[in-house]
A and B are shown apart, each in its own frame.
Chain A
Amino acid sequence: MKFTLSWLKEHLDTTASVAEIAETLTDIGLEVEEVVDPLEKLRPFTIGKVQSAEPHPDADRLRVCQVETKDGLQQIICGAPNARAGITVVVAHPGVYVPGIDTTIGVGKIRGVESHGMMASERELELSDEHTGIIELPSGEVGQSFADWLAANEPARVDPMIEIAITPNRQDALGVHGIARDLAARGLGVLVEQPVKPVPGAFPSPVGVTIDADAMNNAPHFAGRVIRGVKNGPSPEWLQARLKAIGLRPISALVDVTNFFTYDRNRPLHVFDVDKMQGDLRVHRAQGGETLLALDDKTYTFAAGQLVISDDNGPESLAGIMGGEETGCTEDTTTVFLESAWWDPIRTAYTGRDLKINSDARYRFERGVDPAYTLPGLEAATRMILDLCGGEASEVVEAGAPIDTTRSFRLDTARVQSLVGMTIPKAEQVGYLTALGFTPSGEGEVLEVGVPSWRLDVHGEADLVEEVARMASLTKLEPKPLRRPSPGVPKPVLTPMQLRERAARRTMAALGYVECVTYSFIDRASAELFSGGTDATRLENPISSEMSHMRPALLPGLLQAAARNQARGIMDMALFEVGAAFHGGEPGEQHLLASGLLVGQSEPRGPHGGRRPVDVFDVKADAEAVLAAMGAPAKVQILRGAREWWHPGRHGMICLGPKKVLGIFGELHPNVLAAMDVKGPAMAFTLWPAEVPMPRNAGASRGALTLSDLQAVERDFAFVVDAQVEALALVNAAQGADKALIEDVRVFDEFVGGSLGEGRKSIALTVRLQPVEKTLTEEEIEAVGAKIVAKVQQATGGTLRG
């Protein structure tokens, strides 16, 4: 919402400066977005008088002027044809910045003669495009500020413009009058009421108006009148200047009047050219399918139920949103029908949204226009049209009646102070409310407050509290400590799952992975690679096709990140993300994941060797470390058979039973890498933190540590098995040979093929025996060894390597 200072001052009798007004507006909830004060850049210029103007000795067009200035008599060289003795001029002294030529004036020599400043033209001061000569002022004293002179003598040319942001509730501030009321309530001046004197009708309106019964609830009141014998043309300069100052294009006097009231009183109006109309106006609901060429030159097709104003020719106006081109006013218009009506905000909002029309009228009607000002607005506009265009007005025709907005709410003045946390005496509260047009009454602490017709947003006590609070000034609010919920050391607040998420994140960073935060939506193709991209997870209105589906997993986002980095020349990387993935489109169909991605070589080229392609066992180690950090048990199963984006033979599911998958690690399928433009090798892991069982014992105690003083014994075994037999099967079998004695079984070597023959391999285990009661004899060790061999053979068919 834009307005100018002089416009405001028609509604507010005030001596406040632009700065004070702007500060106050922001404080009371009408946030100032911009103040354009044309005087600002004119402040350094002062008034001078030319005493003499002699020809320049070396230039025909230049004159050497002696000018009386605030600094005494100064010599200024000037090329303007009107530079002559006796005129009053605007002087830019050395050091002054001249906006129109983007130059700071200095002392200089022009063709050998010194010049101490400049006499400015209007264009040089950005006052107009005038540049045929320097400014000649009709009055003004030497040394006087030119800005002050302008403000006093030609205020319209330097009218400061203020733009404020309007929150959705403040429909009343969409008119300058409403803004003035707010400022007056805060004490920044006195509101100038402008009672409207009705214009008596000279003849019955030749155009009648009706509202269909089924439209009444959304279009309760429609008024208008005919004005005949008008002479349309450009509106007067003051009106044009006002509209231009707020960014509107003056069109013609009739249209400019309607725009003026839209901004002056938040009272949108419409003018029909009666000569282009046929019959009476009827407000009704569209049946659907009717069309209208609107004033924006676009044709709109109505949906059933939308509000239309029609004459005998059909639709002529989109009620409350935009008029029709066919009956629009032109320079030739001599008879107009002036409409002032009230349209339901919700209906207007829906129609405007459905037809995708933004207009000043829609903006205002959907926020709420004062229903009690329909007739006064009509009268005020009639008067202005008669003033500007002549003619005579008919009697007012009216259908329906203003909606009844009478209502009141109780306001507990003590609760106001409790909510705001500020002392605001009852009398002060009553004062603010009264100044805003509310009608508070009641003796005790609790008031009964009537709401003015222009505050359609006020629906209860809370709204009244807000009115009092913003008038009392939240800027003055003093902070008051909030007691801790309980005295003493604060209690821990994080849940076990929140702690687990943090542990995963910090552990992955500690393992050398760089955390990414990627978008939650990705393109359909990438989502489909990870079994997503379904309609359930599709956005109705994505911002681009790259962001059309909620991600089914974190890996596609990380792979895209890897591809982007590889495109920038970084080939090796370790990335991770912890966040939600989506398995459906309903609230709650999301689950927390932690994924790591390892791409390329294990380390950069270097003098120490050690550089190798990353492999499955890198990510297996990292996945295990992160699971451990989240409290997962060490004893797990490694199963195969994960989804198709994993390498079929190079992945493992870390499980507690076949249905309890804690995580998956492995090499990504080459097809996935190719599709996502990532140069491999690429290893990854994904963990499901919520699947990790919660510890049974919540206590801090670790349980007793039993250490044996007896020497542990290690024995090595090498088994030959089929190549497809898994090492973990051997380990588990060996472990089961004597659960009391065998403390640990480790694989320390694998050897495939060679002398063992095709499809065979050897797995070497080291078994650590920890005696509990007494040192083991060689026979006892032998016996355990035999049991291990038997168990392994039974479980895997493996035989001891000879």
Chain B
Amino acid sequence: MEGLDKLRGDWLARIGEAADEGALEEIRVAALGKKGEISLKMRELGKMSPEERQTAGPALNALKDEVNSALSARKSSLGDAALEARLATEWLDVTLPSRPRRVGSIHPVSQVTEEVTAIFADMGFAVAEGPQIDSDWYNFDALNIPGHHPARAEMDTFYMARAEGDNRPPHVLRTHTSPVQIRHMEAHGAPCRIIAPGRVYRADYDQTHTPMFHQVEGLAIDRDISMANLKWVLEEFFSAYFGTKVKTRFRASHFPFTEPSAEVDIQCSWEGGTVKVGEGDDWLEVLGSGMVHPKVLSAAKVDPAEWQGFAFGMGIDRIAMLKYGIPDLRAFFDSDLRWLRHYGFAALQVPAVHSGV
């Protein structure tokens, strides 16, 4: 069986030289196929004496195994090379732009409204709503602003046109969110805690005024709520909203619907024309507030002898401008896509107290 060594050498050499899977298959058939050289040698075993077979059998089997594994080793290395060659041709310029995906955004007014809501909800305030066209009773009279009151003229009220023959006082576009106080107390009574964010309207237009803007009203009525509570609530709110401890300053003022009334400033600094809230020695006026006037409680069918509480109103657009450094109010309502993308918020950036607003 000295021929076996040569046989092994020949076949292993041919396997090593096979250029592709086809050639390898031919070699397999020629060596191990039914009429393959090694198969024929195996068939010769039957003609041998048992002694000869005893040595030749294992040797041939070993050769067959060796050729088989050489075949599969070669096959896999040929496969690897082919794959490598294919992948090499599949090169892409990955610096090409990605497939476009439309990106939406949330308007700052919506975002800030949700921020405000999240903070006040944590302090137990629900969200109340009311009509944007309202009667002059809800917008003025019920809030202790009678017809001749100078505050009516100062509010630059928009009136709805009245049809000929309709002699009711004209309805108004609400000039503030305060009528929601009345509607809420009428419907739900005391005690209550609400905020009422929404659109309000005043006939005014310049860099800091637009004929429509957004306010949030706050109202808390109970048996012993005080102005000191109001100060705490507002300081908690501003600190949460701006993400830094913010002090407030209360200044005596006058609003027909609250008494005592206060204008509220927040602590800030001015540096190079930009305002920073929560630091420095300056004060910035941000809202009007006070203890709800007994006449307002009475108008809303709440007994002022039994109940008391505070109300406040502040501009949502204004606190949005302060927090996010937005310079011009008019741009809020212009729908310039460049502005909306720059100042807008991601869809999933949902404000929550636990994640910071």
Residues of A within 8 A of B (CB): 26-29, 31, 167-170, 345-346, 349-350, 353, 366-367, 418-422, 460-463, 465-466, 469-470, 473-475, 477-482, 484-486, 490-495, 498, 502, 505-521, 535-543, 547, 550, 558, 560-561, 564-565, 568, 570, 573-576, 578-580, 582, 585-590, 603-604, 606-608, 610
B133 touches A519 (CB 8 A): no
Closest 9 CB pairs of A and B: A421-B228, A512-B102, A421-B226, A470-B252, A561-B335, A167-B254, A29-B252, A509-B347, A479-B232
Q: Evaluate contact between A506 and B228: CB separation under 8 angstroms.
A: no
Known contacts A506-B350, A515-B110; 6 further A-B pairs (Cβ under 8 A): A29-B251, A366-B150, A466-B259, A469-B252, A515-B104, A585-B133
A40 CB, nearest partner CB in chain B, Å = 18
Given contacts A29-B252, A515-B104, contact A539 B160 (CB under 8 A): yes
The stretch of B20-28, B30-38, B72-80, B198-206 in contact with A is: B198-206
Shortest Cβ distance from A469 into chain B, in angstroms?
4
B56 interfacial contact with A, CB 8 Å: no
Contact, CB under 8 Å: B225 / A482: yes
Bound-complex Cα distance A85 to B295 (A): 75
- Chain A residues with CB below 8 A from B336, complex form: 564-565, 568
Instruction: Report yes or no: B333 in contact with A539, Cβ–Cβ below 8 A.
Output: no
**Residues in chain A near residue B224, CB distance under 8 A:** 418
**A509 vs B106: C-alpha distance when bound (angstroms):** 6
Chain B stretch 91-114: residues in CB contact (< 8 A) with chain A: 96-97, 99-107, 109-110, 114
A607: chain B residues at CB < 8 Å are 96-97
Residue of B whose beta carbon sits closest to that of A478: B228
Chain B residue numbers with a CB within 8 Å of A29 are: 251-254
B124-165 interface bits toward A, Cβ cutoff 8 Å, 1 = contact, 0 = none = 111101011111001000000000111101100011111100
Nearest chain A residue, comparing its CB with the CB of B262: A474
Contacts of B256 in A (CB 8 A): 168
A-side contacts of B191, CB under 8 Å: 485
Q: Which residues of A contact B291 (CB under 8 A)?
A: 419-420, 462, 465
Q: Are B253 and A482 in contact (CB under 8 A)?
A: no
Task: Give Cα distance in the complex from A305 to B231, angstroms.
Answer: 48
Asked if B5 CB lies within 8 Å of chain A CBs, one says no
Q: Chain B residue with minimal CB distance to A470? A: B252
Asked if B134 and A587 sit within 8 Å, CB to CB, the answer is: yes
- The answer to whether B131 touches A588, judged by C-beta atoms less than 8 angstroms apart, is yes
* Contact residue among A515, A541, A570 (Cβ-Cβ distance under 8 Å from B344): A515
A49 to chain B minimum Cβ distance, whole angstroms, is 40
- Are A512 and B104 interface neighbours, CB within 8 A? yes
The answer on a CB contact under 8 Å between B103 and A512 is: yes
A620 to B260, CA, bound (A): 55
- By the criterion CB–CB under 8 Å, are A538 and B294 in contact? no
CB contacts between A and B, total, < 8 Å: 274
Smallest beta-carbon distance B247→chain A, Å: 9
**Chain A residue nearest in CB terms to B223:** A418
Choose one: B129, B199, B204, B254; the contact of A520 (CB below 8 Å): B199
Task: Assess whether B346 is in contact with A460, with CB atoms less than 8 Å apart.
Answer: no
Chain B, residue nearest A585 (CB): B160
- Assess the A485–B170 pair: CB atoms within 8 A: no
Q: Nearest chain-A residue to B195 (Cβ)?
A: A493
Residues of A within 8 A of B161 (CB): 535, 538-540, 585
With beta carbons under 8 angstroms apart, the residue of A462, A470, A480, A560 that contacts B229 is A480
Q: Could you tell me if B337 and A573 are in contact, using CB atoms closer than 8 angstroms?
A: yes
Chain A: minimal CB distance from B251 (Å): 6
- CA–CA, A536 and B212, complex, Å: 20
Provide the residues of chain B in CB contact with A466, threshold 8 Å.
252, 254, 259-261
Nearest chain B residue, comparing its CB with the CB of A347: B148
Q: Indicate whether B334 reaches chain A with its CB closer than 8 angstroms.
A: yes
Complex contacts, B100 vs chain A, CB 8 Å: 603-604, 606, 610
Q: How far is the CA of A495 from the CA of B128 in the complex (A)?
A: 9
A610 touches B99 (CB 8 A): yes
The answer to whether A31 touches B211 (Cβ under 8 A) is no
Q: Which residues of B contact A608 (CB under 8 A)?
A: 96, 99
Q: How far is the CB of A609 from chain B (nearest CB, A)?
A: 10
* Residues in B whose Cβ lies below 8 Å from that of A498: 127, 129
Interface residues of B (CB under 8 A from A): 96-97, 99-107, 109-110, 114, 117, 121-127, 129, 131-135, 138, 148-151, 153-154, 158-163, 170-171, 173, 191, 193, 199, 201, 203-205, 211-212, 220, 224-229, 231-233, 235, 249-254, 256, 259-263, 291, 293-295, 308, 332-338, 340-341, 344, 346-348, 350
- Neighbouring A residues of B335 by C-beta, 8 Å: 516-518, 558, 560-561, 564-565, 575
The answer to whether B231 and A539 have CB atoms under 8 Å apart is no
Q: Is the CB of A422 within 8 A of B158?
A: no
**Given A465-B260, A474-B227, A543-B205, also A510-B347 (CB < 8 A):** yes
The answer to whether B212 and A520 have CB atoms under 8 Å apart is yes
In the bound complex, residues from chain A placing their C-beta under 8 Å from that of B337 are 514, 565, 570, 573
Complex: A647 Cα to B160 Cα, angstroms: 33
Nearest-neighbour CB distance to chain B for A602, whole angstroms, equals: 9
B102 touches A541 (CB 8 A): no
Q: Shortest beta-carbon distance, B166 to chain A, in Å?
A: 10
A-B contact list, 22 entries, CB within 8 Å: A418-B308, A470-B260, A480-B229, A480-B231, A481-B229, A482-B220, A490-B122, A493-B117, A493-B124, A493-B125, A505-B106, A506-B106, A512-B101, A512-B103, A514-B105, A535-B163, A561-B334, A570-B338, A580-B132, A585-B133, A585-B160, A604-B100
Q: Which chain A residues border B259 with CB–CB below 8 Å?
A: 462-463, 465-466
Query: Is A31 in contact with B104, judged by CB distance below 8 angstroms?
Result: no
Complex contacts, A418 vs chain B, CB 8 Å: 224, 226, 308
* B232 close to A462 (CB less than 8 A): no
CB–CB A474/B158 < 8 A:
no
| Chain B residues in 8 Å Cβ range of A353 | 153
* Least Cβ–Cβ distance between B255 and chain A, in angstroms: 8
Q: Which of A170, A538, A574 contacts B104 (CB 8 A)?
A: A574
Residues of B within 8 A of A513 (CB): 102, 104
Given the complex, which residues of B lie within 8 Å of A518, measured CB to CB? Answer: 333, 335
Contact residue among B107, B254, B261 (Cβ-Cβ distance under 8 Å from A517): B107
Give min CB distance, B273 to chain A, whole Å: 20
Residue of B nearest to A511 (CB): B104
A346 touches B148 (CB 8 A): yes
Given contacts A493-B126, A515-B110, contact A506 B132 (CB under 8 A): no
Once the chains bind, are B263 and A543 in contact (CB under 8 Å)?
Answer: no
Residue pair B227, A477 in contact (C-beta under 8 Å): yes
- Which residues of chain B are within 8 angstroms of A419 by Cβ–Cβ distance? 226-227, 260, 291, 308
With a cutoff of 8 Å between Cβ atoms, the chain A residues found around residue B203 in the complex are 541, 543
**A543 smallest CB distance to B (angstroms):** 5
Interchain CB contact under 8 A, B160 and A509: no
Give complex CA distance A224, B253 in Å.
37
Q: How far is the CB of A496 from chain B (nearest CB, A)?
A: 12
- The answer to whether residues A514 and B104 also contact, given A29-B254, A565-B336 and a CB cut-off of 8 A, is yes
- Taken together as a complex, chains A and B put the C-alpha atoms of A486 and B295 apart, in Å, by 29
Chain A residues positioned under 8 Å from B205 (CB to CB): 543
Cα A479 to Cα B110 in complex, Å, equals: 29
CA distance A346 to B259 in the complex (A): 22
- When distances are taken between beta carbons in the complex, the residues of chain B under 8 Å from A345 are 148
Give the nearest-CB partner of B247 in chain A.
A479
**CB-based contact A493/B131 at 8 Å:** no
Q: Is the CB of B334 within 8 A of A539?
A: no
Given contacts A498-B127, A606-B100, whether A480 and B228 have CB atoms under 8 Å apart is: yes
Contact across chains for A519 and B135 when beta carbons are under 8 A apart:
no
- Cβ–Cβ contact B252 & A516, under 8 A: no
Closest-CB distance, B95 to chain A (whole angstroms): 11
Closest partner residue, chain B, to A513 (CB atom): B104
Chain B: minimal CB distance from A485 (Å): 4
B341 → chain A closest CB, angstroms:
7
Bound Cα distance from A517 to B173, whole angstroms: 17
Inter-chain contact B151/A485, CB cutoff 8 Å: no
A708 to B250, CA, bound (A): 68
Q: How far is the CB of B33 from chain A (nearest CB, A)?
A: 41
Contacts of B102 in A (CB 8 A): 511-513, 574, 603
CB pair A590 B133 closer than 8 Å:
yes
